Amino acid sequence: MNKADRSRHYQDRVRKAISKPRLQDTLHRFADAYVVAREAAFAGQDFEALRTAIGEMKDEVRDNLPRYRDEFIANAEAAGAKVTIARTAADANAYICNLAKERGVKTVVKSKSMASEETHLNHALKDAGVEALETDLGEWIIQLAGEKPSHMVMPAIHMVKEEVAELFSKVTGKEEPAEILHLVRLAREQLRQAYLDADMGISGANVAIAETGGIALVTNEGNARLTTTLPKIHVALVGMEKLVPTLEDANRIINVLPKNATGQLITSYITWIRGAVPCGDGDKELHIVLLDNGRSALAESPHCRDALRCIKCGACANVCPVYQTVGGHVFGHIYISAIGVILTAFFHGLENASELVRACIGCRSCVAVCPSNIDLESIILHLREVIGEEEGVGAGKSIVFKNVMRNRKLFHGMLRAASVLQKPVTRGERTIRHLPLFFSGLTEWRTLPAIADKPLRDLWKNIPQKVEKPRYRVAFFAGCLNDFVYPEMGIDLVKVLNHLDVEVTLPLEQSCCGVPALYSGDKDTAVAMAEQNIDAMLKDDPDFVVTSCPTCTMALQRDFIDLLKDNPVWAEKAKSLAEITIDISCFIADKLDGAESFGKAIKAEKVTYHDSCHLKRGAGVWEQPRRLIADSGREVVEMAHSDRCCGFGGSYSFTSHADIAKHILGDKIKDIEASGATCVAMDCPGCMMQIHGGLEKQEKTVRVRHTIELLAENLDD
């Protein structure tokens, strides 16, 4: 399929998924329950310490794989197992199918195995004339439906009970009621005899333990225990990344896995199996297939190899706003959601991953809950660069990034021109409610702010600064939105900082932080922008560089370092800039200790706070702005899901995935309204644009303000 067809096909699937409100409802309800259950399950445990330890242990195995693999094989074979290494999916399938043929196997019962989904084992068995029956309830349902799993742990979460009843009715030949208990019991009855009749049982493994040569299975239903007990032959298909050195390491993973997957303290069953255990009159025949299928290549990729730490808990899907909107069949291939994007690229080829790589909105909610400490977002960004290099970033974007953005004067000149050209659609107002013709889709569900008549850089020299003895001199990195769309926020920032005896400069050589190019996969432009901005911001040797946009903050604090780390001229400068860069709320609350310096607002307004993704999960800042708002005499009321993405994501909501962005914004607006606040505050001009646009389009009266604007209001009073 060519790129254009593939994209169109993908967009079609997005639209279809969005038109299923029950799917979204199920996923949202699960996500809410999950967050509560997960927190309770980890009560009293140090999640950061647990995940750091798991990450380190997994890295140790990856870096010394031949040693641990050989230790596992030796111990497993000493216990009577036969171990084989399958280089590819086809090799694994061929081994299992040949074994089935040699032993005259007619039917196979399977317990849940994502590795077998990865290799399409059921198809291979069918072609070999062997009937494979899935016994995990969710897997059986999707097998009957002829579908793929839509979640690693809950494969049939996309289906409703009526659909399941319809499938089961076809099995029994009579109409089965859509009652969940009835359907579950029916599955039990239908599959019972199959375990006893099957000639072979196939399972996966959650861990493979080098020091014992055994495997462990983490399950709830009991089907894996039957699958690994009753048939004479047991085949375990195990991804190579499941290897751990010791029982203690296995215990470490098993402690975390159910808690992070579904919020359970432990699953009903943890089963430790080593070797050819007794079966009927003799011993069982145990075959362990260790699957590579792209894992070695992944281990060799310095940018992506952390993905091998994954313990397949599925949490990255549970918390993902994109997943919650479109489900795993759209935001996934075989493996789904954030980890799925990465594993798909390596296990199933880049072409199957390229749409998924762009579908990530970059909110980092997955990074916050990953039990193996994988920076999923950074890896996805890297893959976006790779795809950008392989396929190009799109002709329109390419021209803008390469020819316009890298040239600050031209870029800013075009923004100024846009300010004039937009007049017919703004009608002199500050927001654009409707756009003509083919742009109309962009303002169908949110208004857009107009580009200001005069950008902040033009107003700057006329902004009075009254600081007699400055405590600090700081340089303001305004970012495009603050400079060209919300210049009044810059004026407020000066007022607020002057009040705290801080003098502010606006280095005029600064330009876009480069994130739009970076997130679209154009690394070269991002590097050029990083260099330009480092020079501009360090030029006058400021005490601090303050930012009002968390995405810019991440660029200055994190991305510039990464982009320039191999460049001896720039690496140190990038580090120097990162060290003095700080977002404005954190600067006021922590560095200036200024939370109580603004008196009390005249009106004790109810304010709810929206945590911007890159501020909370990027910079780790969430408490400071709340403190500033509360201490300034306002009542902070929490909305539900305050740290859930608003759906902006920069170009994500404009060009690539407007449909998804619109739904995520809809969720946010509901939460804001339900909080009862009359003002929603945040620390990101991008979120402001999105949330204000959505509220205004729906004609809601809730005010949208940057924290800095609220503080400035106190000074005006």
Q: Does 37 bind another protein (CB under 8 A)?
A: no
Stretch that binds another protein, among 261-269, 347-355, 435-443, 705-713 (CB under 8 A): 261-269
Judged by CB under 8 A, the residue of 54, 114, 156, 243 near another protein is: 156
Q: Does 272 bind another protein (CB under 8 A)?
A: yes
- Asked if residues 198 and 232 have their Cβ atoms less than 8 Å apart, the reply is no
C-beta of 206: minimal distance to another protein in Å? Answer: 12
SS3 state at 684: coil
* Residues of span 530-559 touching another protein by CB under 8 A: none
Q: Of 216 and 577, which has the nearer Cβ to another protein?
A: 216
SS3 state at 84: strand
Q: Does 565 bind another protein (CB under 8 A)?
A: no
* Residues of span 169-188 touching another protein by CB under 8 A: 180-181, 183-185, 187-188
Measured CA distances, 432 to 135, 649, 694 (Å): 55, 19, 12
Per residue, what are the HEC states of 185-220?
A: HHHHHHHHHHHHHCCEEEECCCEEECCCCEEEEEEC
What are the start-end ranges of the H helices in 423-504?
Answer: 423-426, 456-459, 479-480, 487-499
- For tokens 């580090």, the residue is 575
Six-digit token pair at 564? 């320039």
| Total chain residues near another protein (CB under 8 A) | 65
CB atoms within 10 A of CB 108: 25
In angstroms, the CA 526 to CA 561 distance is: 12
Q: Does 266 bind another protein (CB under 8 A)?
A: yes
C-beta of 221: minimal distance to another protein in Å? Answer: 4
SS3 state at 303: coil
Q: Does 191 bind another protein (CB under 8 A)?
A: yes
In angstroms, the CA 578 to CA 639 distance is: 32
C-beta of 27: minimal distance to another protein in Å? Answer: 9
Q: What order of strands is seen across the sheet that includes strand 233-239?
A: 81-86, 285-291, 233-239, 200-203, 107-110, 131-134
Q: Of 192 and 603, which has the nearer Cβ to another protein?
A: 192
SS3 state at 46: coil
Beta-carbon-side half-sphere exposure of residue 83 (alpha carbons within 13 Å): 25
Judged by CB under 8 A, the residue of 121, 155, 347, 397 near another protein is: 155
Q: Of 255 and 651, which has the nearer Cβ to another protein?
A: 255
Amino acid making up residue 252: R
* Run of H or E including 239: strand 233-239
C-beta of 172: minimal distance to another protein in Å? Answer: 16
C-beta of 230: minimal distance to another protein in Å? Answer: 8
Stretch that binds another protein, among 64-72, 156-164, 295-303, 573-581 (CB under 8 A): 156-164
Q: Does 513 bind another protein (CB under 8 A)?
A: no
Q: Does 603 bind another protein (CB under 8 A)?
A: no
- For tokens 């991002």, the residue is 526
Q: Does 670 bind another protein (CB under 8 A)?
A: no
C-beta of 175: minimal distance to another protein in Å? Answer: 17
Stretch that binds another protein, among 190-198, 325-333, 579-587, 703-711 (CB under 8 A): 190-198
Per-residue string for binding with another protein, 229-258, x by CB under 8 A?
xx----------------xx--x--xx---
C-beta of 49: minimal distance to another protein in Å? Answer: 14
Q: Of 267 and 293, which has the nearer Cβ to another protein?
A: 267
Six-digit token pair at 157? 């979460």
Per-residue string for binding with another protein, 192-221, x by CB under 8 A?
xx--x---------------x-x-----xx
- Asked if residues 688 and 431 have their Cβ atoms less than 8 Å apart, the reply is no
Q: Does 462 bind another protein (CB under 8 A)?
A: no
The bridge status of strand 207-209 relative to strand 214-219 is: antiparallel
Judged by CB under 8 A, the residue of 277, 297, 463, 538 near another protein is: 277
Q: Of 189 and 699, which has the nearer Cβ to another protein?
A: 189
Amino acid making up residue 487: P
Q: Does 79 bind another protein (CB under 8 A)?
A: yes
Q: Does 273 bind another protein (CB under 8 A)?
A: yes
Q: Of 75, 70, 82, 132, which Cα lies nearest the Cα of 283?
A: 82
Six-digit token pair at 64? 């010394």
Q: Of 120, 127, 162, which Cα lies nearest the Cα of 143?
A: 120
Q: Does 26 bind another protein (CB under 8 A)?
A: yes
Q: Does 141 bind another protein (CB under 8 A)?
A: yes
Q: Does 269 bind another protein (CB under 8 A)?
A: yes
Judged by CB under 8 A, the residue of 8, 9, 12, 33 near another protein is: 33
* Residues of span 357-396 touching another protein by CB under 8 A: none
- For tokens 């980092």, the residue is 364
Judged by CB under 8 A, the residue of 16, 67, 161, 427 near another protein is: 161
* Run of H or E including 473: strand 472-477
* Residues of span 283-312 touching another protein by CB under 8 A: 283
Instruction: Give phi and psi for 83, each to the nearest 5.
Output: -110, 135
- Asked if residues 382 and 303 have their Cβ atoms less than 8 Å apart, the reply is yes
Q: Of 141 and 496, which has the nearer Cβ to another protein?
A: 141
Instruction: Give phi and psi for 262, each to the nearest 5.
Output: -135, 5
Q: Of 311, 383, 377, which Cα lies nearest the Cα of 345?
A: 383
* Run of H or E including 86: strand 81-86
Q: How many residues does the chain have?
A: 717
Stretch that binds another protein, among 120-128, 265-273, 355-363, 417-425 (CB under 8 A): 265-273
Measured CA distances, 535 to 75, 89, 507 (Å): 59, 50, 10
Q: Does 40 bind another protein (CB under 8 A)?
A: no
Q: Of 33 and 410, which has the nearer Cβ to another protein?
A: 33
Q: Of 251 and 651, which has the nearer Cβ to another protein?
A: 251
Positions touching another protein (CB under 8 A) are 26, 29-30, 33, 78-80, 135-138, 141, 154-157, 159-161, 164, 180-181, 183-185, 187-188, 191-193, 196, 212, 214, 220-223, 225-226, 228-230, 247-248, 251, 254-255, 262, 265-280, 283
